[in-house]
Each structure stands twice: as structure tokens, then as C-alpha cells.
Amino acid sequence: MLVYLDNNATTRVDLSVVEAMLPYFTDQFGNASSAHAFGSTVAEGVRAARRQLQALLGAASDSEIVFTSGGTEADNTALLSALETAPEGRSEIITSAVEHPAILSVLEHLEATRAIVVHRIGVDRRGRLDRAAYAAALSKRTALVSIMWANNETGTLFPVAELAEMAHVAGALFHTDAVQAVGKVAIALKTTQIDMLSLSGHKLHGPKGVGALYVRKGTPFAPLVRGGPQERRRRGGTENVPGIIGLGAAAALALAGMEDMAGRLRALRDRLEARLLALAPDALVLGDGTWRLPNTCDIAFSHLEGEAILHNLDKAGIAASLGSACSSGSMEPSHVLKAMQVPPSALRGAIRFSLSRETTSADIDRVLAVMPDILAKLRATVPA
Ligand code: PLP
């Protein structure tokens, strides 16, 4: 029996999504820009996908959706667009210390190559943003705030609607990397002041290599990828039509019954977490207890090596993750856990289990069946 609990890294493409995509590789192969029937049927498919995303995001108009090659491109576009269109004198960006590298590495590069200032706002031990530091960093020099909706490692949710209102009072734009939140929590952009939002297909049972940037109507915008007139001149290049169709189908799938799914996953996750804590009373659940994605359990086992736990889980046919997918493989403890001041004794023992709509109660039972032996075996190797 194989158990996949690494859904924050990526998800399996749902069969209904594959079925929706398939015709767009064969019969419906046209270029959406072509002025003949092959083009117009494809253009209609792309329009339908845009409306499916609009519905998932609760956006006012489908014209606010710009398809991209994924979450990373959407994040890069938002940051660079805001800087390029910023009024004179606004050259500062505010972000959090726990963003994904798709944000942090761009900002490091920009800091090194342009005359800009980046404020990285810290978090507390539960991964919650330091609101006072955020309020103090906002000023008439702020061009953009970019703060994630949900953290990929801990699942902690950020109060982005409120943070966006504060950004607007200071006259700054607000972007959120919602790659981990979209499809897992209800989103109603119409009722917020969020100007831009990034999402990615492969985190919600859609294909890899496709995503979108939501750009609120009226938001100043400069494209990152220039070329043809696609995406209302906001992203050049012939559209990844099968990918876009798949992203639309995945959005519709996520929207249907989202609340029930969240409740089911939360119950499974909470059962997993409670049993793991009973097995290891000195383990720490990382992230905010309440304001957290329903599918994510990030737990640090004191004095044990996460790598060793992961390896033993893998041998038992269970896939989980060390911190985020992007930092696993490196020996550096995750920047997120460092920012949360996780004690050194637990820093290296963090394992992330991330569930999805495919996760069953039997999957959780399987983890709980093997963990006692894994923990006992590894504890036996730890010096007293
Ligand atoms: N932002 C967050 C929070 C993520 O978790 C990820 C993927 O792990 C990305 C951005 C990057 O998205 P993509 O893989 O589509 O480029």
C-alpha cells in the first residue's frame, strides 16, 4: 500500500481534469488567436476556463485572470510589475520572512541590483505575522506589500484581507501568493482590497506548468513576458491551452463541495496530529492551531532527524516531506522554522504531512501503524 501525504509539494492530476484536457491535444489543437473555427473553439474553451477561475476566486470579472506558466511566474510578474509601475518615490517592498523562494529570491535579486528597500516582517512562534512591525513598515515609500495567504510548510493562514486594507491606507498595492490557499479555503476577492493574487494548477489536482495571476481591474500593470497580444497584452506567448483547460477543470472541482472537503480533511489531519502527539509528547505542532490550512500537519520531533523519519516512512511506502519541497534536499533548516524560532532540538526533526481530497482514513491508519516503530528505532540511536 502506497500512501501519498505530500500534497503541498504537488497533487495528482484528477482524472476528470485529464479527461477535460485530452481533446485539446488532439481534435481541438488550434491556436486560440486564429480567425477560423479551429481557433474559435479553442478560444471559447480558454474563456470557459477563465470563468471557472473567476468563480473559484470570487473575482468581479474573468478579465482579471492572467494565465501564466505557474505560481513562480505569477509571483515574479506581480513583484516586477508593481516596481515598474510604482509612482515616483515609492521604492520599498514589504514582505514576510516566511515567503516561498518564488518571492524571496526575486526580492534578494532586486535588492542587489536596484535601488529598492525590502522589509521582511517577522512572525511569532505560531507563524503569525508581527502586525505591529507591519504597521510600522508601511509608509508613503511603500510600492507593494506581498504576503502569502497560507504558508506552504506550516499551513498558517495570514489575514490578507486586513493586511490589504492597511496597505491601501498607505497608498501601496497588495499582492498575495495564494498558491497553497487556492482550492483549500474559500476566497472572495470581490469583497477584499487585494490587488494581485498568484495561484498554481498543480497544487489543486490540475497540471504542472500552468497557473494564473489575478490582477484587479484598474491595477497598474506591466507584463513580465512580452510578445504577442495574448492575455490582453499582459502575458505574451501562445497559450498553454491544455494546461489552461486543466486548470479551469481543477478550479471547478475544488469549488464544488469545498466546505465539506475541508471538514473531512481537518478531521483526518486532527486525528493524525493527536495520535502523533500521544506517541511523542515532546513533539511540537508547528503553525497556528486555528488559523491553518485544513490539510497540513507540520510536526517537529524533538532530538530526532527529520531525514531519518522521512527515509523510514518512505521504506514503509509513505511519502511525506521535510519542510517545503523546495528546501528538502538541502541540509539547511528551513527559513520558515528559523523565523518561528523553533528550538534547535526540534529544528531538524520537522516532518510535513499534507493531505488532499484523495486522502483516506486508511492512509492515516497506515501512518499511525508504522510511526511507533520508527520513533522507537530512532530514539534508540539518540544519546541520552
Ligand atoms: N508559492 C508557494 C507558496 C508554493 O508553495 C509554491 C510551490 O511549491 C510556489 C509558489 C511555486 O509554484 P509553481 O511550482 O507553480 O511555480
CATH dotted code for 15-255: 3.40.640.10
Mean pLDDT of 308-318: 97
Average pLDDT on 241-261 reads: 97
Kindly state if the Cβ of 177 falls inside 6 Å of ligand 1: yes
Grid cell listed for 149: 495567504
Q: Does residue 211 have its Cβ closer than 6 Å to ligand 1?
A: yes
- pLDDT of residue 197 exceeding 70, the answer is yes
> Ligand 1 centre from 100 Cα, in Å?
7
Q: Which CATH architecture has domain 3-11+258-379?
A: Alpha-Beta Complex (3.90)
What pLDDT sits at residue 325?
41
State the chain's mean pLDDT as an integer.
Answer: 95
Mutate to test the pocket of ligand 1, among 7, 13, 72 (most ligand atoms within 8 A of CB): 72
pLDDT in tens, 324-377: 444 445 567 889 999 999 988 888 899 999 999 999 999 999 999 999 999 999
Element (H, E) at 324: none
Residues spanned by CATH 3.40.640.10 within the chain? 15-255
Asked whether 30 lines ligand 1 (CB < 6 A), one says: no
How many Å lie between the centroid of ligand 1 and the Cα of residue 384?
Answer: 40
Q: Is the CB–ligand 1 distance for residue 207 below 6 Å? A: no
Report, in angstroms and rounded to the nearest whole number, the Rg of the chain calculated over CA atoms.
Answer: 21
Instruction: Confirm or reject: Cβ of 68 under 6 Å from ligand 1.
Output: no
Mutational pocket test of ligand 1: of 180, 197, 298, 354, the residue with most ligand atoms within 8 Å of the beta carbon:
180
CA–CA gap between residue 367 and residue 32 (Å, rounded): 46
Q: Out of 47-56, 68-77, 344-353, pick the least confident.
A: 344-353
- Per-residue model confidence (pLDDT) at position 323: 64
Q: Where in the chain is the domain with CATH 3.90.1150.10?
A: 3-11+258-379
Whether the CB of 296 sits within 6 Å of ligand 1: no
| Poorest-pLDDT segment among 139-148, 215-224, 373-382 | 373-382
Ligand 1 pocket mutation, candidates 98, 106, 152, criterion most atoms within 8 A of CB: 152
Cβ–Cβ contacts within 10 Å for residue 274, how many?
A: 10
Per-residue three-class SS string for 3-64:
EECECCCCCCCCHHHHHHHHHHCCCCCCCCCCCCHHHHHHHHHHHHHHHHHHHHHCCCCHHH
Mean pLDDT of 37-55: 97
Tell me the Ramachandran region of residue 359: left when phi exceeds 0, alpha when psi lies from -120 to 50, beta otherwise.
beta
255-302 tens-digit pLDDT:
999 999 999 999 999 999 999 999 999 999 999 999 999 999 999 999
Residue 100 Cβ inside 6 Å of ligand 1? The answer reads: yes
- Cα 377 to ligand 1 centre (Å): 34
pLDDT at 63: 98
| Span 90-140, pLDDT tens digits | 999 999 999 999 999 999 999 999 999 999 999 999 999 999 999 999 999
pLDDT computed for residue 330 by the predictor: 58
Report yes or no: 9 and 325 within 8 Å, Cβ to Cβ.
Answer: yes
What per-residue confidence (pLDDT) applies to 326?
Answer: 43
